[in-house]
Amino acid sequence: MISIEQCVSNINNDCVFLGNIDPDMNDLSSENDASSHDSQSDYSSDESEATHDQIEIERQTFLQQLIEFIRDANLNKTTTSSLLSLLNSSKSYDEIPVSINQLLKQLDVKFYYDSFVYCSTCLTSLSKIQDRCINCGTSKIKANSELIIFSVADELRRVVQSNIELIKWYSFRENQMISDIVLGDIYKERCSNNSTLTLMITTDGKPMIKSKATRTSVWPVMSFVVEIPPFIRERLDNMMLLGLWHSPISPPADLLLSRIVDLIKSLTMTGIDILVGKKFQHFDVHVQLMSGDLPARAKCNKLNGHNGFFACSRCLLEGRRCASPCKRHTLYRWSDYLPYRHISRTQEHINQYAQQVSGNIRTSYGVLGPSPISSILSIPLQSTLDYFHLALEVHLRTLMCKWSQMIKDYPGAIAFIDDFLNSISYPHSFNRTPKGFLNYGKWKASELRTFLVYVSLPALVRLRLAMPKCFPEVYVYHFSLYFIYIRNLRHFSNRDEIREMPTFIEEYLKLFSSLYDQCAELYSAHALYHLHEQVEEHGGLAHHSLFSTESCLNHIAKLSHGSISLGQQISYWWCIHRQINSRKMINRPTLFTKSELILDSFFVYDVIENYRQEFDLAYNQTFGEFPPQSMKFYSRYVHGLINPTPIQVPSDVPKVMYNGRNLLAGPIEPTPGGLMKQLINDLFTEDEIILGYHEQVNEKTDKIKEAVKNYFFRDDDENFRVFWGFDGHITRGNQRRGRAYRKKKNDLEQQKSVQLNTTASDINDGDQNKN
């Protein structure tokens, strides 16, 4: 976080405000050398101009640092104004704005959104957020609803201008990922030239105020640009906020989407001109897809929800209520789908059914009425299922619930799986890892993804081999079908693999009801079948999932303060932060093409020595000779976005005292495991380590935990907990086992030495007796 002192004192640092750089500001040459007086005059003039430009850069840099401090401190308008007043009253800095409005004006921040207010009871349009609806009488008053509509064109310009070089680079076939959207059937059919911008639209709800009396939620409508390469397109600065609904009630689809759809329709008809460098470039605008979880999709599509009839947006399977005594679920059975699998929904059918909905007819084939998005996309083909919610949050949790009920009565089964989960060493980029099998209900989406894609099948196979009666073989076989299906659709390197996937999901759904409860054959299970069709049309599931959208929802929720006008607050700070960051950050193709070896201080030479013999043998087997002594070792290799980053240590090393000694004084090992190992060896004797005292809770281990946390994991409780319970647990166990092994080996060598000495002594005594 930037301090106030840094904002004031660091004006002359080397930061550059990109929007105000003059490429010719250092050109001090004079065209007229007729007289020394004129030359001197021209030089002075140019020097003055250069000085003025430098002052302007410094001023913009200072203002940028000031707004970054305001953002990092999460100040609202009132506290921001107080900060500016304090700075102006205590210090005589000419560059400090007197108000937040002046600060934003100097930073050239534009607010390109319109606000609308509605009564939350009858949805009557109001003028102000404090107004009361005259139509609702004296009934209990709900907080009014806010609708914010952003300029789609301005949001597009913001994102494209900071990514134009990447967009041009990614337009070439050799730079595109085989599983990405740009190689899907729909994109290739509709986007025939390089000057195209294609939108992916998503929406979802997020609770804002959880108090029962004043409960509200926010529904942002967000978008990404398909032409930006994967993973970069999903960064927060590249997200576009198209609209926002804040209210105690869920938004009607027409109210939430109609104005946004009208803006997009206008852009698809006329295109958009964007200033690229010093010239305007024209782009066509298309819509690729719209996605959300099951309730959000049903709302936007104006179709029945997942527990209704004809809920599927891709086929006309009706669904049926489950048999007595349950009768609580609408089942979409595989056996019922087989006769209808050749009958697909079309946009024409949806439009036709929507016209039939009126008066007493509330629904026709699951259609509740005309949807605004029908005018910019085909709902059956372009309203996509999100595998994050469907395959992980819903279906995988259902399976894990069934598995836990099956194995919980077998002693040691849960502990066996937990031990396996704890024994896995994950790459550093896995911020969260699944722990505690019975805690699956509390796992985050990233933990569910890690479990499904990497861990689940090995865990079940191990459990089956260790306890055959606990988990029957047929369940392992059945889950392997789902595992292969989702894993291949999520990301692939050969598009032909997609065409082999229907066989797996057909067999999976065929056996599903016979292995699990028949009431589990819900729409969420049926929808899995359509994922392979979706991947053919839109690319791998990973490239149009809602993982990044969920993260953005948390960010959006933090932009507001208090409980009044949260929608306008979010929109206000969104414009400020996104515009400032977009000007500062220019994404270039080097993000993907940069390749280099890095030699830095984060190098553990003990690792080289530990594996020197194995490395030398592998080198000899490969090249027919042993490695030369001059061979240089590097700590890291950077290739594109693959950049392993070690944990950064604090600049101000804290003190951790034990028996009058600072444990963090002197040389410190460069890794958390290395530091923990070093302190264990310092504080415990060899016998104590062999007996496992360093693995128990005591004063010494508490001090070691404190030292490791303060040095490597300050203000990062979650990652420290993961390290101490996983990597640290393994390291501490290895120390005990290593010491015990070495002690046993030394004892054996000593015994052999004693035996040899005894034998030699006996032989000498025998020889002496003979003599």
Residue 337 corresponds to which tokens in the numbers above? 């789908």
Residue 653: predicted pLDDT? 75
- Give the residue-averaged pLDDT of 260-288: 95
Best CA proximity match to 165, nearest among 228, 74, 258:
228
Domain ranges of the chain: 4-106, 113-292+548-590, 386-543, 594-639, 657-747
Backbone angles phi, psi at 597, to 5 degrees: -95, 145
Whole-number percent of the chain with pLDDT over 90: 46
Four-point Cα dihedral 7, 8, 13, 17, nearest 10 = 60
CB 242, CB 201: distance < 8 Å: yes
361 secondary structure, DSSP code: B
- Each residue's pLDDT tens digit, 219-265: 999 999 999 999 899 999 999 999 999 999 999 999 999 999 999 99
Secondary structure percentages of the chain, helix, strand, coil, to 5 = 55, 10, 35
Instruction: Classify the phi-psi angles of 671: left when phi > 0, otherwise alpha if psi is within -120 to 50, otherwise beta.
Output: beta
For residue 30, CA distances in Å to 21, 42, 54, 101 come to: 21, 6, 20, 41
In DSSP terms, which residues pair with 344 in a beta bridge?
A: 315
- Each residue's pLDDT tens digit, 17-65: 333 333 333 332 333 333 344 444 444 445 555 565 666 777 777 777 7
Of residues 136 and 624, more confidently modeled: 624
DSSP calls for 253-318: HHHHHHHHHHHHHHHHHH-EEEEETTEEEEEEEEEEEEEE-HHHHHHHHTB--TTSTT--SSB---
Q: Which residue has the tokens 């105000």?
A: 20
- What's the rounded Cα separation, in Å, for the pair 115 and 596? 49
- What's the rounded Cα separation, in Å, for the pair 476 and 483? 10
Residue 720: predicted pLDDT? 81
- What's the rounded Cα separation, in Å, for the pair 65 and 6? 8
Residue 138: predicted pLDDT? 54
Mean pLDDT of the chain: 83
Q: Which residue has the tokens 């729409």?
A: 523
Poorest-pLDDT segment among 259-273, 570-584, 717-731: 717-731
Label residue 600 by pLDDT band (50, 70, 90).
low
Residue 756: predicted pLDDT? 63
Whole-number percent of the chain with pLDDT over 70: 85
Residue 220: predicted pLDDT? 95
Best CA proximity match to 569, nearest among 129, 162, 251:
129
CB 176, CB 183: distance < 8 Å: yes
- Burial degree of 289 (CB within 10 A; 0-12, 13-18, 19+): buried
Residue type, 705: K
Of residues 78 and 413, more confidently modeled: 413
- Each residue's pLDDT tens digit, 414-450: 999 999 999 998 887 788 899 999 999 999 999 999 9
For residue 521, CA distances in Å to 195, 322, 371, 440, 524 come to: 45, 10, 28, 21, 8
- Longest pairwise C-alpha distance within the chain: 128
Residue 28 corresponds to which tokens in the numbers above? 């001090």
Backbone angles phi, psi at 250, to 5 degrees: -70, 145
- Each residue's pLDDT tens digit, 283-336: 999 999 999 999 999 999 999 998 999 999 999 999 999 887 777 889 999 999
Q: Which residue has the tokens 């690229």?
A: 276
- Each residue's pLDDT tens digit, 77-130: 788 888 888 777 765 556 678 788 888 888 889 999 999 999 998 999 999 988
Best CA proximity match to 313, nearest among 328, 334, 333, 292:
292
Residue 102: predicted pLDDT? 86
Give, for 455, the enclosing helix (H) or strand (E): none
Best CA proximity match to 423, nearest among 731, 736, 726:
726
Best CA proximity match to 710, nearest among 749, 636, 653, 646:
653
The pairing of strands 272-276 and 206-209 is unpaired
Q: Measured on CA atoms in the order 177, 179, 185, 191, is the torsion positive or negative?
A: negative
- What's the rounded Cα separation, in Å, for the pair 771 and 769? 5
- What's the rounded Cα separation, in Å, for the pair 219 and 480? 37
| SS3 of residue 499 by DSSP | helix
- Each residue's pLDDT tens digit, 660-691: 888 888 777 767 888 888 899 889 998 888 88
179 secondary structure, DSSP code: T
Poorest-pLDDT segment among 72-76, 199-203, 371-375: 72-76
- Each residue's pLDDT tens digit, 702-714: 999 998 888 888 7
Q: Which residue has the tokens 């990497």?
A: 454
Residue 28: predicted pLDDT? 29
In DSSP terms, which residues pair with 219 in a beta bridge?
A: 245
pTM of this prediction exceeds 0.75 = no
Poorest-pLDDT segment among 242-251, 499-508, 630-639: 630-639
Residue 724: predicted pLDDT? 83
- Each residue's pLDDT tens digit, 510-567: 999 999 988 889 999 999 999 999 999 999 999 999 998 888 888 898 888 877 889 9
Residue 139: predicted pLDDT? 57
Residue 768: predicted pLDDT? 56
Residue 54: predicted pLDDT? 67
- What's the rounded Cα separation, in Å, for the pair 303 and 317? 13
Residue 70: predicted pLDDT? 80
